Amino acid sequence: MSRPKKERIVHQPPLFADFKPAGIPSSNLQPELLGLDEFEAIRLADYLGMDHNEAAEEMEISRPTFTRLIEAARKKMATFIIEGKHLQIEGGKIHFRGNVIQCHNCGHMIKTRFNQNITKCPACGSDNLIDLAGGFGHGSCCRRHSHHGRR
């Protein structure tokens, strides 16, 4: 019997979580699901250029686990690009360190911590806000984990 999967730490929810080839309806494409932890591995290693030890520490997982995670994520990204699938970022056993609130009216993005209560957009004053962590089913659970991280 394998060990239970350890919860991974993700810096913040992705700003965009749904990608597809232009001009093809989503209903005609096979989905390729990229977990939030795999998204974070891509962000840390390929976007920020961290080595596997640094990235593993950031996600609070072992280096071998990070290596397996980044390899799986890269394979899914390659499949998405080569085969033209519908890439969706979702799921996984994760907690966010921070959150992003988006104004539905003007599109302004507000990076925030979970202990901050944002009720109005600082750009336009609207109260029509979207909680990106909440869109992934997170928020209250992440409050307990957000204080542990370095960033």
Note the pTM of the prediction, 2 decimals. Answer: 0.86
pLDDT at residue 144, as a whole number: 64
pLDDT at 123 over 60: yes
pLDDT at 129 over 60: yes
pLDDT at residue 45, as a whole number: 98
Examine the domain organization and report whether 27 and 77 are in the same domain.
yes
Angle at 60 (CA atoms; ends 57, 62), nearest 5 degrees: 75
Give the model's confidence band at 113: pLDDT under 50 very low, under 70 low, under 90 confident, else very high: confident
Burial 12-21 (b: 16+ CB within 10 A, else e): bbbeebeebe
Examine the domain organization and report whether 82 and 106 are in the same domain.
no
- What CATH number did the domain enclosing 130 receive? 2.20.28.10
6, two tokens: 């350890």
* Owner of token pair 């989905």: 31
In a domain, 17, yes or no: yes
Convert the pLDDT of each residue in 7-42 to its tens digit: 899 999 999 999 999 999 999 999 999 999 999 999
Percent of the chain with pLDDT over 90: 76
pLDDT at residue 2, as a whole number: 66
Examine the domain organization and report whether 85 and 26 are in the same domain.
yes
Examine the domain organization and report whether 24 and 80 are in the same domain.
yes
Give the model's confidence band at 92: pLDDT under 50 very low, under 70 low, under 90 confident, else very high: confident
Q: Is 139 helix (H, G, I), strand (E, B) or coil?
A: coil
Examine the domain organization and report whether 58 and 131 are in the same domain.
no
The domain total for the chain is 2
- Structural domain of residue 23, as residue ranges? 8-95
Examine the domain organization and report whether 40 and 68 are in the same domain.
yes
pLDDT at residue 117, as a whole number: 86
pLDDT at residue 116, as a whole number: 85
